[in-house]
A and B are shown apart, each in its own frame.
Chain A
Amino acid sequence: MNVSLNWLRELAPGLEGSAEDLAERFSMVAAAVETLEPVGQGVADIVVARVVEAEPHPNADRLTFCRVDRGADELVELVCGAPVVEVGALYPYVAPGVELPGGLRIESRKIRGVMSHGMLCSEYELELGRDKSGIMRLPDGLEPGQALTEALGLPDVRLTLDLNPNRVDLASHVGVARELAPGGEADVVLRDPGADWQPRWSDGAECASAAGVTVRIESAERCPRYLGAVVRGVKVGPSPAWLAGRLLAIGARPINNVVDATNYILFELNQPIHAFDLNTLSGPEIRVRAGQRGERLRTLDGEDRDLGPDVTVIADRDRAVALAGVMGGEETEVTPATTDLFIECAAFSARAVRDTVRALNLPTDASYRFERGIDERGPERALTRCVELILSSAGGEAETDAIRAGASPPESPVVPLRTGRVHQVLGLRLADDEVTDLLRPLGFERVEPSGSTGSVDETTADLRDGKSALQFSVPGWRNDVRREIDLVEEVARRYGYERFPDEERRFRPSSVPGDAAWDRMDRVRALLSGEGLLEARSSSFVPEDQPGGRAEVGVLRPLSAEEGFLRAAMVPVLLRRAEYNFARGRRDVRLFEIGTVFHTSADPGDGSAVRPEPDGTEAYQEELRVGLVVTGSAAPRHWSGGTRDVDLWDLKGLAGDVAEQLCGARVEPLGEDPEALGRFGGGWLGDERFRIVRDGRTLGIAGNIDSDAADAPRWAGSLWGLEFELDAVQLGEQKRYEPISAFPSVRRDLAVLVSESVAASEVEASIRAAAPKLLELVELFDVYEGEGVESGQRSLAWAFRFRAADRTLTDQDVETAMTSIIASLEEAFDARIRAS
């Protein structure tokens, strides 16, 4: 919503302060002012000029040679670039030596061989508007030589308001003035329209006739009230300069004295009004009804629109002529040839207008207001003012009889307000009078309680210290105020949010326990950051099928196919991030992410503890997962050498850290068994795969990335991935101290030859089982197959550390343990001891 500062000052003569001050005050009391924009700055030396002669430029088809009267004795000759220059019309003239607002200095110069002394300019060149299609036609009635600023009420300041959706009343100058004027509503003075019209209303619930026109409301639901007036014998032409200037100042285009008057009322009083050319209406009759299938209408913007029952139309006897509350039709619009007008000023229902706008995707200034609710008690005043403005600027005669069809406007609602409630919600102790004084400027009048409110219920009494509530009548333009709390907000606003005392209050601790997921995330972040991984955060959207995984849950009307589904796994998402880094030449990528993955629910009963009743969401499951992807060097390169890439054993170590440090679980090889994959999908897994397992349940999976699952350049290293469920992370586990032995340890090495098919982990388990008490450490330090080892066999070299908690070990102790280890290996794996 754009607001002209000059217009505001005219409406509220008591308004003091600079544009910046007023913008600041408005932001603090009502709604944010987004921008302050000077209008008509730097046009002080530009004057009104009349074109006296115009003829084609002798050497150029697209140029016009003009003689113009700029108020001086002699005419000025110039060349104009506009396609249309009307003889006798007024335009802004920039003389040689004068600068345009953009700083361009105009000089006399030859254009295609003809001297041009100055220029006629467009509203765009004057920074008054966006139209650069032609030079700016000024309203008639101005004097050549008159300063443009004086003619158009410039300079002005345009304020752009960022309105909250509940305050449609602020989409008008009166609404803004009411908030800013010290006395509010009482200080607002409307401009004298320069004519007087006192209508005699011809009322009818569904149908009313006057001045030869019949109005029929066929759906009261779509149109509660419809007012109409007839003006005959108007002369359509440019608006008076002051009116055109007002519209220009808020960025609207002046069109003609009739349409401009309706727009002026829209922006002044917030009431949309539409003027029809009476002689184009068959009947003449007006029907407010639903559109019909197959019906078409060419609207004012030149578009042919297909109507239907969702659209509410204004029709004459034969056809639809306008979209109710949205836009007029081309065939019945006011043109320079129009002499007689039918002026519509109606209250269309928010619902009806919203449906029309949605059906046709056509939001307009008028629909904005109807959709949010206009003042249903306002149409009489608005129509009267509009007719008066037209009479004064376009002449003609208004019929005294005017139409008023539909229900009478609703009574002002009366809303109670307890000062105790004000105190309870705001923490302010305000007296009845203080509250009343804060509300009155906005149009809320205190009224005496009407008879039946004698019984005050106990809570009410409580908050009123035994007195009955104050009662306020709500003005028609405040459809947003219906409840006590709405008035409490008005009190707070008018009191001023910044005037509240600065205090810190006591509190009692929350009854709501914190969600352990956050603590789990903290543990994960600490571990993985420590492992040198960077945290990524992706959006949840993925394509249905992406390398490394299919998604399950689709979005209706997605932004694009690439964002049509919600991720079902984290690793594929991180692979896209790795590719992003590859594309930027980065080889070392170590990323992790904690996020939600989405699945369709196989078991609709799942999660019923959280969702008491089926509401559609039970068809989906969401789960927090941790994913990571690593590739590239195991460590940043160092000049001393020793650089190598992340490999399988780094990944297994990472998985082991996650399993042991976070989950109390362990890592084991993951076969091809789909059961063991759990719900991880794992479409990205290559052949070297692990799972994190606890009590037989898969908590996570890890492995190399299948070559089809990521688009890696040739220079990239192998990619490794890991994904686990956040819920697997354990909390509150209290480790217990194990006594540290004060006695020395004994080391022994042992190389055993076993069949290749024997897993190292089995050998280790067997070793540990054979000497459970004394064996403190078992370390595999070499794996060898090849020369000296028979094929099908491999040598596993172990280092042991023996220690007793309570004594120094003797050679005998160690020998016994070694013998037992060797015996168990021989028995279990047919192992042979390799001479070292």
Chain B
Amino acid sequence: MSPAETSLLDRLAEIEKRGLAAIDDAGSEEELEAARIEYLGRSGAVASAFSDIGQAPAGVRPEAGKRANATKKALQAAFERRLATLLAAARREESEGADLTLPARSRWRGGTHPVTQVIDEICDIFREIGFTKVRGPEIESTWYNFTALNIPLDHPAADEMDTFYLADGVLLRTHTSPVQARVMEEYEPPVRVVVPGLAYRRDAFDPSHSPAFEQIEGLAVDEGVDFVEFRGAIQYFIRHFFGEGTKTRFRPSFYPFTEPSAEVDIECSICGGSGCSACKRTGWLTIMGAGMVDPAVFEAVGYDPERYTGYAFGMGPGRIAMIRHRIPDTRLLFDGDARFLEQLT
């Protein structure tokens, strides 16, 4: 071998040895980059060795080419390894040094309205005991809203003072109860339905009134459904919604479409029954109007009142949401104030 040959191969060996050392010693990305440029750059040591191969004797060229490629590969591999190590170290260092109390990156939080939450919970509980969830129109005829429900049109409840009429005989339903009649007209017992929806009364907005409000109607009709079953179903609901051990009472009341009629009270959750402004110092909160379906309603929808009996109930999920979250003013439910909705989502 000629000295020239030897010197090229030696030079490659030397380049590889020094290059590897420089790469492994690089303490930072900058130093590593400098080493890369020195050995692997366009005019670095490896590149110049390659260009010298051309001048080498022909017999040596293949060997020199092979060696040069091997050197380049080895240095490149070392470079990648070192870079990965340095980056990992840098990342580690960065996180070790970071102030972890800095605020996280967050996303907008969405959610359902508190009244929706109450409606869903109520319906879910009734679903457990076989109630399906149905719907009815908000624009109603006086027939479904009043007459079919045993409310004569000259009854105070049908008064224009309280009802939004759209035209003669057409109104915004004043309760969800017309859906009772619609369901019974269409289906034969056993009927077990809950009906959430908006109802309308001519009340201007104030802390406890709104011209539109959510109601949930319930209806169960079959042979053999009696007052005992009615109480049992309602108590099941109350236990699951308001909690085991919630004190409950059923009081006489009056609705034209139920008889016997009842109002259902629970012990005031705000004062624990000792009396406060929320319960008008009675210690009780009325959460539901209910009763056994009046036979006149069965007659209106074509059910045999001697064969079928049933119970119906109505609740205000808005009011229940207000009790649950201690919301002092109905208007908060309607404002769409993002601060309010975020709180109760």
- Report whether A502 and B129 are in contact in the complex, using a CB–CB cutoff of 8 Å: no
**B172 beta carbon closer than 8 Å to chain A:** yes
Contacts of B156 in A (CB 8 A): 165
Interface residues of A in 318-372 (CB under 8 A from B): 351, 354
B218 to chain A, nearest CB (A): 11
State whether A500 and B231 are in contact (beta carbons under 8 Å apart), knowing that A514-B134, A581-B336, A635-B108 are contacts in the complex.
Answer: yes
Q: B115 contacts A617, CB within 8 Å?
A: no
Contact indicator B251/A28 (Cβ below 8 Å):
yes
A577 at the interface (CB under 8 A from B): yes
Residues of B contacting A589 in the complex (Cβ-Cβ under 8 angstroms): 338
Q: How far is the CA of A38 from the CA of B138 in the complex (A)?
A: 45
- Compute how far the CA of A557 lies from the CA of B116 in the bound complex, rounded to whole angstroms: 30
User: Within the assembled complex, what's the spacing in Å between the Cα atoms of A558 and B250?
Assistant: 37
Does A317 lie at the interface of the complex (its beta carbon under 8 Å from any beta carbon of B)? no
Report if B37 contacts A (CB, 8 A): no
Q: Judge whether A502 and B113 touch: CB under 8 Å.
A: no
Which chain B residues numbered 77 to 115 have a C-beta less than 8 Å away from chain A?
Answer: 102-103, 105-113, 115
The answer to whether B204 touches A539, judged by C-beta atoms less than 8 angstroms apart, is no
Cβ of A507 and Cβ of B130 under 8 Å apart?
yes
- Known: A32-B263, A517-B135, A555-B166. Contact between A537 and B116, CB under 8 A? yes
Contact yes or no, B222 A508, CB < 8 A: yes
Given A512-B192, A541-B211, the answer on whether A32 and B251 have CB atoms closer than 8 Å is yes
Q: Within 8 Å of chain B (Cβ to Cβ): is A105? A: no
Main secondary structure of the interface of B (DSSP, over half): mixed
Give how many A residues have a beta carbon under 8 Å from the other chain's beta carbons: 101
> Are B106 and A635 within 8 A (Cβ)?
yes
CB–CB B232/A502 < 8 A? yes
- Could you tell me if A425 and B292 are in contact, using CB atoms closer than 8 angstroms? yes
Given contacts A507-B220, A554-B166, A622-B138, contact A636 B112 (CB under 8 A): no
Q: How far is the CB of A335 from chain B (nearest CB, A)?
A: 35
Q: A528: CB under 8 A from chain B?
A: yes
**B-facing mask of A733-765, CB < 8 A → 1, else 0?**
000000000000000000000000000000000
Asked if B246 is at the interface (CB within 8 A of a chain A CB), the reply is no
Cβ–Cβ contact B111 & A510, under 8 A? no
> For the complex, what is the distance from the CA of A196 to the CA of B261, rounded to whole Å?
43
Kindly state whether residue B335 has any CB partner on chain A within 8 Å: yes
Within 8 A of A (CB), among B200-218: 200, 202, 204-205, 210-212, 214
Task: List residues of chain A with CB within 8 A of the CB of B59.
Answer: none
Q: Which of B147-190 contact A (CB under 8 A)?
A: 154-157, 160, 164-170, 172, 182-183, 186-190
Kindly report which residue of chain B lies nearest to residue A423, judged by CB atoms. Answer: B226
Contact among B140, B172, B204, B254 with A167 in the assembled complex (CB-CB below 8 Å): B254
Q: Which residues of A contact B188 (CB under 8 A)?
A: 511
| Residue pair A427, B227 in contact (C-beta under 8 Å) | yes
Interface residue? B1 (CB, 8 A): no
Which chain A residues lie closer than 8 Å to B193 at the CB level? Answer: 510, 512
B5 beta carbon closer than 8 Å to chain A: no
CB distance from B74 to the nearest CB of A (A): 28
Check if B259 is an interface residue, CB within 8 A of chain A: yes
Q: Does A426 contact B (CB under 8 A)?
A: yes
B228 an interface residue at 8 Å Cβ cutoff? Answer: yes
State which of A41-49, A80-88, A143-151, A590-598 sits at the interface with chain B: A590-598
Q: Does A166 contact B (CB under 8 A)?
A: yes
Whether, in the assembled complex, A615 has its beta carbon less than 8 Å from a beta carbon of chain B, the answer is yes
Complex: chain B residue closest to A166, CB-CB: B254
Q: Are B227 and A500 in contact (CB under 8 A)?
A: yes
Cβ-based interface call for B272 (8 A): no
A198 within 8 Å of B (CB atoms): no
Name the distance in Å between B43's Cβ and chain A's nearest Cβ. Answer: 26
C-alpha spacing A503/B227, complex, angstroms: 10
Instruction: List the A residue with the shortest CB-CB distance to B249.
Output: A498
Q: Are B231 and A510 in contact (CB under 8 A)?
A: no
CB-defined A-B contacts under 8 Å, sample of 26: A27-B282, A34-B282, A164-B253, A164-B254, A351-B154, A425-B227, A425-B292, A425-B309, A428-B228, A489-B260, A492-B252, A497-B250, A504-B229, A505-B224, A511-B189, A512-B192, A517-B135, A530-B110, A532-B108, A535-B110, A535-B111, A537-B334, A541-B212, A610-B137, A615-B170, A635-B105
Give the 3 A-B residue pairs with the shortest CB-CB distance, closest first. Answer: A532-B108, A577-B336, A427-B226
Please give 10 more A-B residue pairs, beta carbons under 8 A apart, in addition to A504-B236, A557-B165.
A424-B226, A498-B249, A500-B227, A502-B231, A503-B232, A507-B220, A534-B345, A535-B110, A539-B334, A593-B336
